């Protein structure tokens, strides 16, 4: 979730014309893409020269987008500081008529400078250039990312040139996606927004590929709209109406990004985009056991939530090599907040603090020594731990599982790692369960009985001690009854989840609405398991007898 809170193909095409029309096939045409034509431009470091030595007519050019930068104080967007940035890796097609048609002449992608080229073209034909908010590369090391309008039938955002004739000479056609800013608000369509989002994701992908060139990324759909507001409850209908709660990853291959002007727009908040993409990475490459929910400065969080949110924050700084994390919002996007992932002080320190987790992970990565940090491992050891040990650990994912795996892979750095942990009030980590820190896990033993107590002293839902974890072992494969019964009153509503640990698998939840007692029936194979027990009513102190029969 966003930090500090809790195709029928309908094509949005962006023309250089001056009118808005709706055609019979519901194609919506907007007037903001900038197209420039310079037949024989001089070569520059950022532009690809036309090679006239080989045969065939060519069209080459560069695709850029307007990026609005944050103010120097980290609060709000600075519309006096807009730069044209390369649209890297985006899909470009040369078509005969409309970007909606199947009359595709050639398809390519831009390079890291935003350059594209179409070679050996047949002269004397009318064509159009279509630039899609889409990253696509097949095979090992490939990816498939597109930015769509969730409030308009998942229309993919597309910028297109006017229709023009391929002459006998090679030409250059540059396309820029404009911000739409008019000085006192958005007076034009926000063409650059989808491309800015896509470029932040491209940056994250390249960082992962720096550690593993063969990393292959499952399909990701990014849902952005000018109608996306921080409201709603997350239902499918609400998401289609733009009520997306907050910028978030939904755990099922979809990012939702805020875009409502004068409220909260996130398209230029690259740390927010990359943070949410970090949850996608956890989900698809590693393992994310986080239960989600609200989180904020000073919260003592469930260890799974603390790691997931701390990872997202640290990852945004790692991917960008920029520790200043910001979120712009408010009237004319002029307000917001920021934090320093590297040297900022934790509002609260400990294994339950997302602040502590983000500082620890970034200190492990970065090459700048400060305070207790004398370690500069870079990203590859972090990546290896996440996709290896963390993905397969038998405990819930937390700072305990991550550090245990990192130390096993880097035993010579153990003292330096412990020094960083100590600076965040975390004692040396001796196992995946955090046994040296607190009594987080209970062990049922062979009797398959246990007594545990949950607490609401740190808040409700996803805070520290709202959930208690129980380890148990099954020797005989058969049907079992799991019961959780309150023993200090009758006002609690106990719930529990059942997890097999190797391979790690969530077998299901028992979460009926009932006072005092929760019972579930499960067929359990022999092996090791975890129970996650909580009180839905969030009583300050509720104790339960747990039995497996």
Predicted local distance difference test score (pLDDT) of residue 44: 39
Residue 42 above 70 pLDDT? no
Q: What percent of the chain has pLDDT over 90?
A: 84
Residue 54 pLDDT greater than 60, yes or no: no
pLDDT above 70 (res 233):
yes
Nearest-angstrom CA–CA distance, 239 and 517: 35
Residues in the chain: 549
Q: How confident is the model at residue 51 (pLDDT cuts 50, 70, 90)?
A: low
Class of domain 441-548: mainly beta
pLDDT tens digits, one per residue of 69-107? 999 999 999 999 999 999 999 999 999 988 988 889 999
CATH 2.60.120.380, the chain: domain bounds: 441-548
How confident is the model over 291-317, as pLDDT tens digits? Answer: 999 998 899 999 999 999 999 999 999
Min mean pLDDT across 29-33, 141-145, 378-382, 436-440 is at 29-33
Q: Which residue from 370, 386, 191, 221 is spatially nearest to 287, judged by alpha carbons?
A: 386
Q: What is the pLDDT of residues 327-342, one digit of tens each?
A: 999 999 999 999 999 9
SS3 label, residue 16 = coil
Mean model confidence pLDDT for the chain: 90
Higher pLDDT, 124 or 339: 339
Per-residue confidence at 49, pLDDT binned at 50, 70, 90? low
pLDDT of residue 32: 34
Cα separation, 543 vs 454, whole angstroms: 6
pTM value is 0.90
In the structure, what pLDDT confidence band is assigned to residue 28 with cuts at 50, 70 and 90? very low
> Terminal CA-to-CA distance of the chain, rounded, Å?
38
Distance CA 202, CA 143 (A): 10
The pLDDT score that the predictor gives to residue 124 is: 87
pLDDT at 132: 97
- For 134-194, the DSSP string reads EEEE-STT-EEEEEEETTTTTEEEEEEPPPEE--SS-EEEEEEE---B-SSSB-S--THHH
Answer yes or no: is pLDDT of 36 > 50. Answer: no
Distance between CA atoms of residues 106 and 117, nearest Å = 10
Q: pLDDT (tens digit, 9 = 90+) per residue, 460-518?
A: 999 999 999 999 999 999 999 999 999 999 999 999 999 999 999 999 999 999 899 99
Distance of CA 201 to the CA centre of its chain: 8
Distance of alpha carbon 294 from alpha carbon 276, whole angstroms: 15
Nearest one of 336, 328, 362, 359 to 346, comparing CA atoms: 359
Q: How confident is the model over 150-177, as pLDDT tens digits?
A: 999 999 999 999 999 998 888 999 999 9
Is the model's pLDDT at 27 over the cut of 90?
A: no
Q: Report percent pLDDT > 70 for the chain.
A: 90
pLDDT value, residue 114: 98
Q: What is the rounded distance in angstroms from the CA atom of residue 20 to the CA atom of residue 29?
A: 6
Look at the block and give the residue holding tokens 């500081």.
81
pLDDT confidence bin for 420, thresholds 50/70/90: very high
Summarize the confidence of residues 256-279 as an average pLDDT: 98
């Amino acid at each position: 979730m966003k930090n500090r809170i809790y195709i029928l193909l309908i094509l949005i095409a962006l023309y250089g014309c001056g009118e808005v029309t709706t055609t019979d096939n519901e194609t919506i045409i907007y007037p903001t893409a900038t197209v420039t034509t310079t037949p024989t431009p001089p070569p520059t470091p950022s532009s690809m020269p036309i090679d006239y030595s080989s045969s065939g007519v060519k069209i080459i050019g560069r695709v850029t987008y307007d990026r609005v930068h944050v103010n120097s104080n980290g609060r709000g967007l600075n519309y006096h500081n807009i730069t044209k940035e390369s649209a890297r890796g985006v899909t470009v097609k040369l078509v005969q008529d409309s970007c909606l048609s199947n009359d595709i002449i050639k398809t390519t992608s831009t390079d890291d400078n935003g350059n594209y080229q179409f070679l050996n073209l047949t002269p004397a034909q009318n064509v159009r250039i279509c630039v899609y908010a889409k990253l696509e590369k097949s095979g090992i090391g490939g990816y498939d990312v597109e930015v769509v309008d969730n409030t308009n039938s998942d229309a993919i955002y597309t910028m297109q040139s006017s229709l023009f004739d391929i002459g006998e000479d090679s030409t250059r056609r540059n396309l820029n996606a404009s911000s739409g800013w008019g000085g006192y608000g958005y007076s034009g369509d926000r063409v650059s927004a989808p491309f800015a989002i896509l470029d932040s994701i491209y940056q994250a992908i390249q960082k992962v590929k720096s550690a593993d060139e063969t990393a292959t990324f499952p399909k990701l759909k990014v849902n952005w709209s000018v109608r996306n507001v921080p409201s709603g409850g997350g239902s499918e209908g609400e998401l289609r109406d733009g009520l997306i709660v907050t910028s978030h990853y939904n755990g099922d291959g979809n990012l939702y990004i805020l875009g409502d002007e004068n409220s909260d727009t996130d398209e230029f908040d690259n740390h927010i985009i990359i943070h949410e993409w970090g949850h996608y990475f956890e989900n698809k490459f590693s393992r994310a056991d986080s239960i989600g929910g609200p989180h904020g400065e000073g919260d003592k969080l469930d260890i799974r939530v603390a790691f997931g949110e701390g990872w997202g924050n640290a990852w945004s700084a790692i991917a960008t090599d920029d520790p200043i994390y910001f979120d712009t919002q408010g009237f004319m996007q002029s307000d917001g907040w920021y934090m320093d992932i590297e040297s900022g002080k934790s509002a609260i320190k400990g294994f339950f603090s997302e602040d502590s987790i983000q500082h620890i992970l970034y200190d492990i990565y970065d090459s700048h020594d400060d305070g207790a940090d004398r370690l500069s491992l870079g990203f590859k050891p972090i990546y290896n731990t996440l996709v290896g040990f963390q993905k397969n650990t038998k405990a819930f994912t937390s700072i305990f599982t991550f550090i245990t795996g990192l130390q096993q892979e880097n035993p010579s750095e153990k003292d330096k790692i412990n020094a960083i942990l100590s600076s965040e009030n975390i004692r040396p980590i001796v196992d995946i369960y955090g046994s040296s820190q607190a009594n987080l896990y209970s062990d049922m033993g062979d009797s398959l009985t246990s007594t545990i107590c949950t607490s609401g002293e740190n808040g409700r839902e996803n805070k520290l001690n709202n959930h208690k974890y129980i380890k148990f072992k099954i020797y005989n494969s058969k049907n079992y009854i799991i019961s959780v019964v309150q023993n200090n009153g009758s006002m609690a509503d106990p719930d529990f989840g059942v997890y097999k640990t190797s391979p790690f698998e969530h077998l299901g939840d028992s979460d009926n609405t009932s006072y005092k007692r929760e019972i579930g029936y499960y067929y359990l194979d022999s092996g090791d398991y975890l129970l996650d027990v909580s009180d839905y009513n969030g009583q300050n102190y509720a104790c339960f007898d747990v039995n497996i029969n």
